[in-house]
Structures are given as structure tokens and as C-alpha cells.
Structure 1
């Protein structure tokens, strides 16, 4: 029975994906137009420092958005990703500082313990989210809204709002601020994550079952898919990727801060997923397009800053783009139903 879902889920996602091809096809064109326009308007845009900043910020957003997209494809929502970014940052920094005091000079142990603690935070939050959604049948929106608040509160309680320092130079300068072949290390981490999720979506039963669950959960149940296990898995992946982003931010800045992530990262990750063709109804979405969407949103934010657009107005542009993307998704769905 499971082989039926394995075969049908990709076909369904491809069929619905074709109905969204108009929206997805516009994204590369908008990206090229935005880059060309900014290059003509402001020479600072194509400066090396600005390009590296864009790539670094787009990489961080893409990592979070990949996890968010996986949850949405399965028919859920993860509003806690921004808070997990912040919590992982402060826990990583605190753990490294404590390990440095206990084992001075042992950089490998210090970094390993900090990274493990940060990823553990993401794993824990993901398990809580997945358990409440899959086992207790609570709305993903409500659950992750609650864990977002609780996680953010824990991060502030740990630090009292004060940045945490005390990390090894090999972690900050040797990794977070380092460049390989002229590109920030965050770019390579993001490419590895994107490639891994693409493989999961296209080549594994987990990825195919996630599409099946988001597309038609009743059919997936009849076909023998373990719904609860796979839903928990999507939230765990989302939590781990958000924690990974927090660790990368900590390495880049050189301190753990409870102000990382927040509502902005959460909204941008959802926007990147939706604009990248992930249907809010589930069952449709590819992370490679989500990654392009993350790059588009990062360049758009950078362009607004260079054009000195009031920071209070910038969320308006993001909101308008999100509304347009959701409207196009709904229109494409209705046109498919009529056909």
C-alpha cells in the first residue's frame, strides 16, 4: 500500500507545481530586474562588501526557510523558528563560555559542546512542537505560537538581555568570519543544507510521504503512512535548521544574543516559502525555489536600505508580496478545480 503513496505523491506535487509555474517563473525575472535596477541606481549595490553581506544573510534565511518549507509542505506551520534561532545562540555561547572555564585551551571540546547544546535546543523545541501537533492533535499555529513565546522567554531569562561572549577565536574568526574561495562559510553551509533537503524531498520515502501527508492526509492514512512520525520529523528538521542558523549567527557576530531571529526571521522564513511556491494548503513546494526566494527577499531588503527607505515602511513591502503570493496560490487552486 505504501508504494501507492510513494508513486502518487510526486505526481500530485508535480501537477500542482505546474499550476504554480506562472508564479515561480516570475521569481527569477523579478530577481534579475531587481539586481539590474539597483546596479544602475546605486554603485554601492555591486560593491564586494555589499555582495558578501547579501550572500551571508540570504544563506542564513535560506537555511531557516528550508525547514519552514518542509513543515508547510506537510500541512503545518512553525512560528517558533525565530525564537529557536535566539535560544540556540545564547545556549551555544553560554555552553562554550562554561566549557572554556572548565577546560581552557581545548578548542575542539569547547566548540563541540557549544554546537551540540545549540542543536539540542532546536531538537527539543522541534520534538515538543511535533508531539503536540501529531500526538495531541493541537493546531500547529497555536502550538508553535506558544513555544515561540516560551523559547524567547527562556533566552531572555538566561542572558537578562546581555550578549554572551567567551567563545574561542577558532570558532569566531576561523569559522564564523572566515571565507573560503572568497565566499563566507555560511554560504557553503546553506548549499549543503539545500542539497540535503532536495535529496530528502526527491529521493527518500520520508520526503515522498511528507508530500502525501500535506496533499491528502486521509489518503496517506489509508495507504499505511505513519502520519505522526513524519509530522514530528518535519518539526524536528525545522527546529534543527533554526538552531543551526543561530549557531552560524553566533559565530559571525562573536556573541550569543537573545535578540537574534525574533518575529522578523519567522515572518521572512514563511514569506520565502510562500513566495517560493510552497502552498499553504500543503503538498506542494521545492526548497530550491525557496532558496531563490530567500535570495530575492534579502536583496530586496538590502535595496530598500540603500535607497534609504524608512525601516518602518519596509515590512509593508514584505506584507504586500506575501499577500500577492497567497492570492496567486488561491487563484491557481481555484482554476485547477474549475478545470
Structure 2
């Protein structure tokens, strides 16, 4: 399929390879839910359900950005470090803004949130420019910015949590509940809806599919490949930063320990298990959302079953390998037809 066809029919490249994953993922999800309901009564407790939904929401936001980058044929290993960097930047800036705008919570919060999002945008911009303009491997670039962002976060805080944020930011936003659900859930729903719209109804979404499917064909068809590649990394950085801000509001402090390798690995796993092809050009945000929920429920189930935390990444690794193997088998089967 040419890039022109991909831009005219954005759903076409995304559907191939989905029947296996789309049918298998809900089955796994239902199996885990039923199994845990029989094994642990705590699983259906209101507090546990809210924790699952909150954690799934945070993972979903990061995974949406990660999925867009992978669909375009790249990788973003820096998302975990960006979460931590945005957290400490947000908290630090709010503390400084409080001295400039004493008693003006709106101005203080606005300064902190803009600074946090700006830090994610800056990292994403560096990633995108290095990949698109300098033609450096996305894996290598984001590995480097991951280390740099984590180092900056530790340097700013010296490993000590940063406090001094307005109580309204923590209590009325981070820890608030509307209709019994945390704020993070509504933010995640908004992000998912916007991302679905971007994928299906905008030229950016169509061009991302085209670039991931065949970058050379996309260039010949007149697509500004470099600009859209930079856009995917910027989007991933901003969404990771938004997750860091939500975590900061929830915990009440900026911490350089947020995110880390775990969130990075989980975001990639959510994308891959949700049907995003590592070869690029294939993937849907709504399926990635289901995948993020599945991974969160699985992690929660392992905790309730008191599985050693050192063994839990093994389950994630096995599922990721199975998902990639399923994709490869599906590709080879189609190649024979």
C-alpha cells in the first residue's frame, strides 16, 4: 500500500494484524478479572477498583504517546525520566511562583503546570530533531535523553522530595473525586478521545500511519516526514509530562523517583500488547487503552496474590514476547497468502 493510499484510508493499515490481538486481549482481561474475583475478595473492593482505574489512567496517558511514536516507526525510552523531570520541575516552579504571586493559587498552579509540560515538550523536541534531522536511531537518542532527564531531575532535587505546592492543587485537583472517580480518570478519558480523533480525523494521524508504513513512499507522496516525526516525539514528551504532573498532584510532592524504567517498559508493553506493530504503521489508541487496563489489573492481581515483586516483571516480559511472536506469525501467514 502506498503512502497516498494510507492517507486516504487511515484505518486500512491499522486493521491488519488486529484480529488475533483484538480477540485475545479481552479474553485475557476477563479471565484475570474472573480468576481474581474467585481467589481474592479484596479485588472487588471499592478502594482497590479506584486504585486500578487511577493507575490504568496514568499508564494510558503515557502509552498513548508511546503508541504514536511506535506507529511512526520509532521508540521513546525517555518517557519514565520525563515523568520524573516534569514532577520536580512543576513542584520547584510552583514553590518559586508562590514567592512572586503570594496567595494567588491560580497563577502559581498555571506557572508550575506550564513549566512541567514545557520540560516534556523540550525533551520530546530534542528527541524528534535528533531522529528526524540528524537521522540518529530513536532507540539511541531516547536512551540518551532518558539518562539526561533523570540526571537533571536528581540534580534539581538532590534526591529529596519537593514540597510547597498550593493545597488547592493537591486536594482539589490531585486527590479530588468527581462522581466517586479521581481526576486522573477524566484526564485520561479526555486524552484518549482526543487521540482517537487525531488518529481518525486529522492529517497528522493519517500521515503518522503512512510514515510508519513506508517513510520513503510518504516522502514521495509529499508528506513532511521530518515535521511529523518531530511531532510524534513532542506529543509523547508532553503526555509523559502530564502524567508526571498528575502524579505530583496526587502525592503532594515532586519526586525524581517517579516513572523510571517501570513506566517506560509498561508503556511499550501496553502499545505492543494492544496491537501496535514494532515495524510501524499499525495501531489503534482504543486498543492500547484496553491493554493498559489489562496490564494494570494484572499487576494489581499479582500484588494481591503476594507474588514477589522481583518476579512480576517476568510476567510482563512473557506477555510482551508472546505479543511480538503473535504479530510475526500473523505477518508470515499473510505473506504466504
Cα distance, 1:8 vs structure 2: 4.4
Corresponding position of 1:6 = 7
Q: Is the 8 A contact 1:4 1:223 kept in 2?
A: no
User: How far off its partner does 1:12 sit?
Assistant: 2.7
1:87 lines up with 2:85 in the alignment: yes
Structure 1 residue 2, shift from structure 2 partner: 8.0
**Alignment match, 1:38:** 36
Q: Which runs of 5+ in 1 are unaligned?
A: none
TM-score by length of 1: 0.97
1:331 to 329, 332, 336: 329
Other-structure match for 2:259: 261
TM-score (norm 2): 0.98
Task: Tell me if 1:198 matches 2:196.
Answer: yes
- Deviation digits for residues 98-148 of structure 1 (CA, Å, limit 9, x no counterpart): 111222110000000000000000000000000000000000000000000
Q: How far off its partner does 1:10 sit?
A: 3.1
CA distance in 1, matches of 2:113, 2:219: 37
- Corresponding residue for residue 181 of structure 1: 179
- Contact 2:3–2:214, Cα closer than 8 Å, also in 1: no
Give the RMSD, CA atoms, in angstroms: 1.1
Equivalence map 1:22-37=2 (5 Å) = 22-37=20-35
| Correspondent of 1:217 among 182, 207, 215 | 215
Pairwise CA distance, 1:5: 4.3
SS at structure 2 position matched to 1:232: helix
| Aligned partner (choices 120, 126, 129) of residue 122 of structure 1 | 120
d(CA) in 1 for partners of 2:202 and 2:138? 24
Question: Quick check: 1:308 aligned with 2:306?
Answer: yes
Q: Which residue of 2 aligns with 1:168?
A: 166
CA gap of 1:221–1:184, structure 2 versus 1, over 3 A, is: same
Residues 277 and 188 from structure 1, CA distance in 2 versus in 1: closer, same or farther, beyond 3 angstroms? same
Question: 1:5–1:220: 8 Å Cα contact kept in structure 2?
Answer: no
Look up the SS of the partner of 1:320 in the other structure.
helix
- How far apart are 1:230 and its partner, in Å? 0.4
| 1:187-246 alpha-carbon deviations (Å, 9 max, x no partner) | 000000000000000000000000000011111111010000000000000000000000
2:75: which partner in 1?
77
Contact 2:4/2:218 (8 A) holds in 1: no
Query: Of residues 88, 96, 101 in structure 1, which corresponds to 2:94?
Result: 96
Instruction: Spell out the pairing of 1:246-257 with structure 2 (5 A cutoff).
Output: 246-257=244-255
Is 1:231 the counterpart of 2:229? The answer is yes
Is residue 2:294 matched to residue 1:284?
A: no
Aligned equivalent of 1:68, options 66, 69, 81: 66
CA offset at residue 22 of structure 1? 1.4
Q: How many Å separate the matches in 1 of 2:11 and 2:28? A: 28
Distance of 1:5 and 1:322 partners within structure 2: 27
